[in-house]
Amino acid sequence: MADMTNPIRHGGNLREAARRYAIPFENWLDLSTGINPRGYPVPPVPPDAWRLLPEDDDGLAEFATHHYGAPLALPIAGSQAAIRALPALLRRGTAGVAPLTYGEYAPAFMRAGHAIATLDVHARDLPGTLDHVIVANPNNPTAERLPPATLLRWHAQLASRGGTLIVDEAFADVDPASSLAGESAREGLVVLRSVGKFFGLAGIRAGFVLAAPLIIDALRDALGAWAVSGPARHAVEVAFADIEWQREARTRLQRDGARLAELISDRGFDVRATPLFAWTSTSQAPGLQHALAVRGIWTRLFDLPGMMPSLRIGLPGAEGDWARLTLALRETCG
């Protein structure tokens, strides 16, 4: 499943695209990520946030428990930090990972000595051979969602044999009702949350682990002091406190996500979508990515051996960006 000899590919590699297509960096429309293009407007950072060491007892963890409705929260430098650290803290075994999902999970577990097995996300019950399961909900890039009842049933099956269910909710902010944050005190359940996607603050590298005390304490020890910078802590606190912005952003993203899905499906593609990106699986995906790229629009291609290629397209922001994408799709797909 995971090729440990090649670097993991991510969206957002715009400078690479600029070099490949010889188009100046500033002329690109980057739709290769699922980041809110109209992110939270962080106010000026207080001088002390730059000058002083961050303090773990500044209330950020409590802000997060209130925001997510979780019993406990650990601030981390983006959910990527937890993905890398968690496997080494879990009993070595076999980890189930979906065949097409965020590419960091399988390599992280393999580095920690776990075996990797393909997860059937449509199964009612998990095979007894799995010790740990990692699920993105909604999934990146396929936009597939699993009901909370399914995930809790899987958690019970894993927990009964000392296993762990890790649920990555990086794209769940627009639909909080689907979250397992409120259940995260259960032993053997870990929920990861990201500030980067919904709030459009990927650059500050901040996220949270929601879990029982045993996992929280082990991760805190593994990650060490000052895991989240002072400026990042300030940005998260003000963003979490701005309920009106969050309400308006959810409404806008639901509308814009539906608009993007319709725009792509009108060109004849079968589309799955979240409010932050649309995804289509088609043999035309490599050609479509190239055709958009020569027009200065960068998208994310998934072209794995043995699988139909697919394309993920993020949200445009300004109306001019929507018009540019609409024209490019019309010229490319007719």
For 132-144, the pLDDT digits (tens) are 999 999 999 999 9
**The 300-302 sheet, strands edge to edge:** 271-274, 277-281, 310-314, 300-302
Note whether 35 and 107 are same-domain residues. Answer: no
pLDDT at 318: 96
Q: Which domain holds residue 322?
A: 14-39+244-333
Note whether 136 and 152 are same-domain residues. Answer: yes
Mean per-residue pLDDT, 86-105: 95
How high is the mean pLDDT of the chain? 94
Note whether 326 and 197 are same-domain residues. Answer: no
Residue 116, number of CB atoms within 10 A of its CB: 17
Of the residues 242, 266, 285, the one at which a domain ends:
242
Note whether 128 and 169 are same-domain residues. Answer: yes
Mean per-residue pLDDT, 31-39: 96
Q: Give the C-alpha distances (Å, rounded to integers) separating 236 from 178, 209, 228, 232, 287.
A: 22, 14, 10, 6, 39
Cβ-contact 268, 168 below 8 angstroms: no
Q: d(Cα 206, Cα 110) in Å, to the nearest integer?
A: 25
pLDDT at 238: 97
User: Mind listing the pLDDT tens digit for each residue in 273-304?
Assistant: 999 999 999 999 999 999 999 999 999 999 98
Residue 208 lies in a domain: yes
Half-sphere exposure of 136 (CA within 13 A, CB side): 24
Note whether 202 and 60 are same-domain residues. Answer: yes
Predicted TM-score (pTM) of the model is: 0.94
Note whether 60 and 77 are same-domain residues. Answer: yes
Of the residues 185, 208, 242, the one at which a domain ends:
242
Bridge partners for 186 per DSSP: none
Instruction: Give me the CATH number covering residue 70.
Output: 3.40.640.10
pLDDT at 333: 84
Instruction: Give me the CATH number covering residue 30.
Output: 3.90.1150.10
Note whether 181 and 267 are same-domain residues. Answer: no
Position with higher pLDDT, 333 vs 222: 222
Note whether 72 and 202 are same-domain residues. Answer: yes
Q: Which residue has the tokens 């019970």?
A: 156
Q: How many domains does the chain have?
A: 2
Is residue 5 pLDDT above 50, yes or no?
Answer: no
Residue 328 lies in a domain: yes
Note whether 88 and 136 are same-domain residues. Answer: yes
User: Mind listing the pLDDT tens digit for each residue in 47-90?
Assistant: 999 999 999 889 999 999 999 999 999 999 998 899 999 999 99
- For 291-310, give one letter per residue: b (16+ CB within 10 A) or e: bbbebbbbbbbbeeeeeebb
Note whether 122 and 214 are same-domain residues. Answer: yes
Q: Quick one: tokens of 128?
A: 């007894």
Q: Is the dihedral of CA 80, 84, 90, 92 positive or negative?
A: positive
Q: d(Cα 71, Cα 302) in Å, to the nearest integer?
A: 37
Residue 7 lies in a domain: no
Residue 134 lies in a domain: yes
Least confident of 4-18, 148-162, 207-221: 4-18
Of the residues 208, 242, 276, the one at which a domain ends:
242
Note whether 154 and 203 are same-domain residues. Answer: yes
